[in-house]
Every structure is written in structure tokens, then in C-alpha cells.
Amino acid sequence: MRAESMNSEKALAHVSQSLQEGAALRLKVAQDCGQTIVSAARQIAECLHSGGKLLFFGNGGSAADAQHLAAEFVGRFVLERRALPAIALTTDSSILTAIGNDYGFDQVFSRQVEALGCPNDVAIGISTSGNSPNVLAGIRQAAKQRIKTIGLSGKDGGLLAKSVDLSITVQSANTARIQECHIAIGHLFCELLESELASTNEFKEVRARN
């Protein structure tokens, strides 16, 4: 039995509506969170200048964002430069399953922060709800070790917004739109950092990004 084909007119209307919703939310983030984004980028720059590293973590789509952003720092965003130290605590299946099995899934990030974190580092927890137990545990562990913390959350910010040094909350109930803004904010961290580094003439701009 053949399925009915997609209604092109309705599909186009949905595409337009979704993109407009996302654009409006980004403008709201710029208005509500712009200064905090700059402050977070400054904290990241200070961390890297002082020899620290970035620790990214989250679940599901936020885990993918953590990996994406760590890759931008270790590789490059736009400028040809030395590699910058960043780790996604979401990638080692042996560590994740060992900690999950032995201690519980809520500790998969906190245990890694305990092992890898140093006072000059910055821990960046990502949670669209702001209430992911393992993300909150990772942030609490970072605070115990005097590691600076940044939270990317959604909705009303949840407990994450109350637990970090700098909170960036995308005020939306739509998980997909929140995640789209989170990766845009992460890209802004990269842009602002590389712009500052370029001003020192330490790096040269590449003609095109891969």
C-alpha cells in the first residue's frame, strides 16, 4: 500500500514557521544573554591563556554539542592556530560504561571531572532542561575543585542556572530550538576567542574553512 506523498504547501509553511521561530529565539538570546555570552567567552580565554582546559559535557543532543565544540577548539574554527585543550566527557565508552555500572549513570561526568579537572580549567555543562542529574553532579564536582563553571540550559534554566558561575539560559520549551541556540552560542565562544587571539598577531587567518 503506497503512502500518500508529503503535501508540499503544508511542508513549506512548516519550514518557514520553524526557521522564523528559530530566528526570533536567537534574537531574544542576543538581547537577554549577549553580555553573559561575552563574559563566558572571556572566562574561556582566561582559562586557555593560563594553561587550563575546557571540559564539555551533556546528554543526547547536548553530548553531540559537547563533542562538536571540543572539536572546534582542538582543531580550529576559522583561524589557523595551535590546538587548544578541550575535552568532551561524553566520548569514551569504556569510562562511561564502567562508571555507569560501578557507580551509577548520575556520576559519569563528576567522576571524570574529579580525575581530569584542575583549578585553571572551565567546566561547561549543557542541559536543555537544566535539570539533568549527571550534568548537575559534574558541575558540583567542578565547584568542589575550584573549577570555573558555565551552564548552557533552556526553559527556566532549572537547577543548572543556579549552580554555575555563569548561566546562559535559552528561554524556550522547544528542545530542538534550544539546541540550535546552544550550538550557536558555542560557535560565538570560538569566534570571540579567535578574534582576541588574532588581535595579538599570534595566529594568521586562513583563506577558507574546511
List, in order of start, the domains of the chain with CATH numbers: 9-205 (3.40.50.10490)
Report field, pTM of the whole predicted structure over 0.75: yes
- The pLDDT value recorded for residue 210 is 38
pLDDT of the chain, 210 residues: tens digit per residue: 455 678 888 999 999 999 999 999 999 999 999 999 999 999 999 999 999 999 999 999 999 999 999 999 999 999 888 899 999 999 999 999 999 999 999 999 999 999 999 999 999 999 999 999 999 999 999 999 999 999 999 999 999 999 999 999 999 999 999 999 999 999 999 999 998 887 765 544 443 343
Nearest to 57 by CA among 137, 119, 174, 147: 137
- The pLDDT value recorded for residue 196 is 85
CA–CA distance, 126 with 136 (Å, rounded to integer) = 10
- The pLDDT value recorded for residue 91 is 97
Per-position DSSP letters for 62-114, written without gaps between them: HHHHHHHHHHHHHS-SSEE-----EEETT--HHHHHHHHHHT-GGGTTHHHHH
Q: How many CB atoms lie within 10 A of CB 98?
A: 13
